[in-house]
């Protein structure tokens, strides 16, 4: 009986993976919904040190973030999904231009991912037409309480690098993750972290971070991280930050650009993430500084991740870079 149940679970897992591919996902891994103790402990220690900066939502109910069953009672399995978003940089930043992180150059990945998850769940639900599947799934992109990188690693999709990113064999760290918690009991993938290439003695992400935000392997001090500073931080920068943005007006890819696992990256097949679908690789800083209304701001970047810091935040970033570049040319 157990053998038959295992066979059904395995077939279900294979079918879900085929549906994920059909829905447009580049990678799919499956693992159990059990708590990952080391991931929970890592989160709690990070919060104890106040390394989350002003991201108060990270402090809200950390146990729920660590335990999928608290988001979906009766959860048995976790389906982790990934989209490759890599596109190469084409130019060198000019004094009046600001560089946008690769994931944000096109459309908002939340919306792109949501549509693909909805398509995937429709296909899965058709296989379980005799069940009420409305309460069998709970899904998140990256705005929900979930440790998707840790579950992706346990699902055999890659390992967590020293820059805290999930590094996959197929796409390096250039992946956007999402997660579906389900009451379905599925055959889990083998955790292959011990079999995969690792960071070894490499410290390039640590030594190349201009703000020294990676304070230990896998530990990020958000208060120093350019991505956090340009996206999540509200209000003015402290003095020491003002010369450290390095032309990054939204997000930062430095720790990924220098990673050897990313040297032969595959360009994304998703047009939604490319320059032509959003603001592109560079934005004009003086144009941003001159913006006066929310309408003008949204006309420029609606439907992209750049709405996150709001007009005030993006203007602060632009003005800081312009000032930094002006001082460097004196």
Does some domain include residue 42? yes
Task: Compute φ and ψ for 237, nearest 5 degrees.
Answer: -80, 155
Report the distance separating Cα 279 and Cα 28, nearest Å.
29
Task: Tokens for 22, please give them.
Answer: 């059909």
pLDDT of residue 1: 43
Domain span holding position 48: 2-89+108-195
Q: What is the pTM of this model?
A: 0.92
Mean pLDDT of 52-73: 92
pLDDT at 153: 95
Q: Is residue 84 part of a domain?
A: yes
Q: What is the CA radius of gyration of the chain?
A: 21
Given a cut of 50, is residue 70 above it in pLDDT? yes
pLDDT at 4: 44
Q: Are 123 and 137 in contact (CB under 8 A)?
A: no
Q: Which residue has the tokens 């998850």?
A: 117
Q: What is the average pLDDT across 94-113? A: 95
One of 108, 135, 142, 299 is an active-site residue; which one?
142
pLDDT (mean) for 316-328: 84
**Residue 142 is among the residues annotated as catalytic for this protein:** yes
Q: What is the pLDDT of residue 21?
A: 98
Going by C-beta distance under 8 Å and a sequence separation of 6 or more, which residues neighbour residue 208?
254, 255, 258
Residue in 144, 179, 132 with CA at minimum distance from that of residue 30: 179
For 19-60, give the DSSP string. Answer: HHHHHT-SEEEEEE-S--HHHHHHHHHHHHTTTTTT-GGGTS
32 lies in a domain? Answer: yes
Domain membership of residue 320 (yes or no) is no
Residue 51 lies in a domain: yes
pLDDT band (50, 70, 90) for residue 185: very high
Q: What is residue 266's DSSP assignment?
A: P
Confidence (pLDDT) at 24:
98
Sheet containing 97-100, strands listed edge to edge, beginning at the edge strand earlier in sequence: 248-250, 97-100, 282-284
Pairing of strands 77-84, 248-250: unpaired
278 assigned to some structural domain: no
Span 236-244, average pLDDT = 69
Q: How far apart are CA 158 and CA 14, in angstroms?
A: 19
pLDDT on residue 182: 96
pLDDT digit string (tens) for 110-151?
A: 999 999 999 999 999 888 777 777 789 999 998 788 999 999
For residue 95, what pLDDT is reported?
78
DSSP 246: T
CB 109 within 8 A of CB 176: yes
Say if 43 falls within a structural domain. Answer: yes
Q: Are 160 and 196 in contact (CB under 8 A)?
A: no
Element (H, E) at 11: helix 2-23
Q: Which two tokens stand for residue 200?
A: 């070894």
Find the helix or strand (DSSP H, E) in which 148 lies. Answer: helix 148-154
Does the pLDDT of residue 85 top 50, yes or no?
yes
Our count of domains for the chain comes to 1
Instruction: Taking residues 260-281, report their average pLDDT.
Output: 96
- Whether the per-residue pLDDT at 6 is higher than 80: the answer is no
Q: What is the mean pLDDT of residues 266-280?
A: 97
Question: Which range is least confidently modeled, 69-78, 217-226, 231-240, 257-266?
Answer: 231-240
Residue 2 reports pLDDT greater than 60 = no
Residue environment code for 205-217, b if the CB has 16+ CB neighbours within 10 A, otherwise e: bbeebebebbeee
Q: How far apart are CA 234 and CA 203, in angstroms?
A: 31
Structural contact between residues 247 and 325, judged by C-beta atoms closer than 8 angstroms: yes
DSSP β-ladder status, 175-182 and 214-216 = unpaired
User: Average of pLDDT values for 235-250?
Assistant: 80
Beta-carbon contacts of residue 304 (< 8 Å; ≥ 6 apart): 104, 106, 107, 108, 278, 279
- What average pLDDT does the structure give for the chain? 91
Q: What is the reported pLDDT for 243?
A: 61
pLDDT at 23 over 70: yes
- 12 is a domain residue: yes
Lowest mean pLDDT among 34-48, 151-165, 241-255, 277-291: 241-255
> Are 102 and 86 spatial neighbours (Cβ–Cβ below 8 Å)?
yes
Tell me 309's DSSP state.
T
């Amino acid at each position: 009986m157990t053998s038959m149940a295992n066979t059904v679970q395995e077939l279900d897992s294979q079918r879900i993976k085929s549906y994920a591919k059909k829905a447009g996902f580049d990678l799919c891994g499956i693992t159990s919904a059990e708590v990952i103790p080391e991931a929970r402990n890592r989160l709690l220690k990070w919060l104890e040190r106040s390394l989350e900066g002003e991201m108060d939502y990270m402090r809200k109910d950390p146990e729920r973030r660590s335990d999928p069953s608290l988001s979906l009672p009766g959860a048995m399995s976790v389906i982790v999904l990934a989209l490759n978003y890599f596109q190469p940089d084409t130019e060198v930043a000019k004094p009046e231009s600001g560089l946008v992180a690769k994931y944000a150059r096109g459309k908002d990945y939340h919306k792109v991912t949501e549509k693909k998850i909805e398509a995937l769940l429709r296909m899965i639900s058709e296989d379980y037409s005799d069940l009420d599947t409305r309460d069998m799934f709970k899904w998140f992109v990256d705005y929900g309480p979930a440790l998707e990188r840790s579950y992706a690693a346990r699902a055999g999709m890659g390992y967590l690098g020293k820059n805290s990113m999930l590094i996959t064999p197929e796409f390096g760290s250039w992946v956007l993750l999402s997660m579906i918690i389900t009451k379905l009991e599925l055959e889990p993938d083998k955790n292959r972290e011990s079999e995969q290439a690792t960071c070894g003695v490499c410290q390039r992400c640590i030594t190349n971070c201009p703000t020294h935000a990676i304070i230990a392997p896998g530990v990020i001090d958000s208060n120093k991280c350019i991505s956090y500073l340009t996206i999540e931080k509200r209000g003015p920068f402290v003095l020491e930050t003002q010369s450290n943005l390095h032309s990054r007006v939204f997000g930062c890819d430095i720790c990924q650009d220098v990673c050897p696992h990313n040297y032969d990256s595959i360009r994304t097949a998703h047009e939604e993430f490319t320059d032509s679908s959003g603001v592109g690789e560079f934005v004009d800083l003086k144009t941003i500084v001159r913006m006066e209304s929310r309408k003008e701001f949204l006309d420029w970047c609606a439907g992209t991740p750049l709405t996150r810091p709001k007009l005030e935040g993006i203007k602060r970033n632009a003005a800081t870079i312009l000032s930094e570049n002006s001082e460097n040319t004196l």
